[in-house]
Amino acid sequence: MLVSGELLFGIHSVEAALTHDPANILELYIESDSHNARLKELSDRARDAGVKPHARDKAALDKMTGGARHQGAVARYRTPPPRNESDLAALVEKAGADALLLVLDGVTDPHNLGACLRSAEAAGVTAVIVPKDKAAGITPTVRKASSGAADRIAFFAVTNLARTLKALKQQGVWLAGLAGDAEQDFYRLDLKGPLAIVMGSEGEGMRRLTRESCDYLAHIPMRGSVESLNVSVATGVALFEALRQRGTKT
């Protein structure tokens, strides 16, 4: 009988949970008829972390995941409670001048959210902030699309995004919003210092109150005929331009 809990699948997702939160892995299933060396390594790491791996054939894992691409690794995972909104201010204060936040106003596609989290983690983002309503949260699909980044980055789902943005501004964080109709060139903005990059939803862009909260509105210049970039692509472009301006740190 399976233990209840969120289903994680894919080597990256399971590996990230083992590395960062093994206590919340309830059950781990590894494909028994695979010769993948990474699965053997995953089993060994699980045992070292006190998690017993259970062997299952590919058909059983296919059935468990509904035919999703599991790569031979499936886990039942107890999702940790979301970050408390009150912790955000302390996180920003600790980061100081290096604070770099990503605000996603209503991204609903889990693959887009996962890709945004992956870029955010790679860019060293302090925290990712989304509204609780009408936006994607951390799901198994998001975890898989993020290649484990969802378990490594501070993620806040807030009740009132406009209020949160106001609080960030009071802490000295500048808000730079991306909008296709903005006149300012994003590459001409000064992205150093405490900063939040604000992205809108896939179809509608930023909501009115979010847009009005931004200190700057800018667009990413493009030469082709497409009207806009996918939100996850635009997020990656924006974050790594901020990283370039700030200088890379190892």
197: buried, middle or exposed (CB in 10 Å: 19+, 13-18, 0-12)? buried
67 Rama class: left (phi>0) / alpha (psi -120 to 50) / beta: left
- In the predicted model, what is the mean pLDDT of residues 75-102? 90
The domain spans of the chain are 6-77, 86-246
Each residue's pLDDT tens digit, 119-160: 999 999 999 999 999 899 888 788 888 887 887 899 999 999
Angle, vertex CA 220, rays to CA 167 and CA 91, nearest 5: 25
DSSP string, 66-123: TT---TTEEEEE-PPPPPPTHHHHHHHHHHGGG-EEEEESS---HHHHHHHHHHHHHT
Rounded distance between C-alpha atoms, residue 170 and residue 166, angstroms: 6
What pLDDT shows up at residue 75?
92
- In the predicted model, what is the mean pLDDT of residues 214-230? 88
- Which residues pair with residue 7 across a beta bridge? 76
Phi, psi of 34 (to 5 degrees): -105, 150
What pLDDT shows up at residue 249?
59
Residue 206 predicted with pLDDT over 90: yes
Closest CA to 64 of 142, 8, 120: 8
169: buried, middle or exposed (CB in 10 Å: 19+, 13-18, 0-12)? middle
222: buried, middle or exposed (CB in 10 Å: 19+, 13-18, 0-12)? exposed
pLDDT confidence tier of residue 3, bands split at 50, 70 and 90:
very low
Contact 11, 72 (CB under 8 A): yes
Range of lowest pLDDT (16-25, 45-54, 86-95): 16-25
Residue 1 predicted with pLDDT over 50: no
Residues in the chain: 250
Fold of 86-246: Alpha/beta knot (3.40.1280)
Greatest C-alpha distance within the chain: 59
As a whole number of Å, the CA-based R_g of the chain is 20
Closest CA to 115 of 150, 82, 70: 150
Fold of 6-77: 60s Ribosomal Protein L30; Chain: A; (3.30.1330)
Residue 26 predicted with pLDDT over 70: yes
User: Which of the given ranges, 24-28, 117-121, 244-248, has the highest pLDDT on average?
Assistant: 117-121
What pLDDT shows up at residue 2?
40
Mean residue pLDDT across the chain: 90
